[in-house]
Amino acid sequence: MKKRLWIIPVIVILVCGFFIGRPFIGIRPFKDLTAKDVKEVTVKLIPPDTELEFTNAEVSKLVEILNRVVIYQKDNTYGKYAGQTVIFTMTKTDGTQISIKAYNPFIIIDGVGYKTKYGPCEELNNLANNLEAEK
């Protein structure tokens, strides 16, 4: 009987550790997204207040980057930062629309801000700026 008593504290510690550590581990909200799931994408850069449409090849590149995006805890302090905002508006084949704002070190998904991993968010900014420079 005494040997089994240690199981309860271990389970409690594991459960608490999961909930405490979750914000630091991060999740990938677009890990299952494929280019076939996306009907169309537009991107708006502010500044210079330019809006562009994506080709199929550009959609594939965007999805590839989004698959690597890692978000951490919610954080709506992004309004205190200054700089360029890149807003992707994605319409999926099922008709749902997703707004993704890349604003390093934040990503805003459908109006909810999150701290994000720097690399993929910077790639989103670069993708949009390179597209704008080409067109």
Q: Is the pLDDT of residue 33 over 80?
A: yes
Q: What is the pTM of this model?
A: 0.82
The pLDDT of residue 64: 98
Q: Percent of the chain at pLDDT above 90?
A: 67
Residue with more model confidence, 79 or 52: 52
Region 103-120: what's the mean pLDDT? 94
Q: Is the pLDDT of residue 4 over 80?
A: no
Structure confidence at residue 2 as a pLDDT band (50, 70, 90): low
Task: Using alpha carbons, list the distances in angstroms from residue 134 to 9, 29, 59, 128, 131.
Answer: 60, 29, 16, 10, 5
Kindly state the tokens that stand for 93: 């084949």
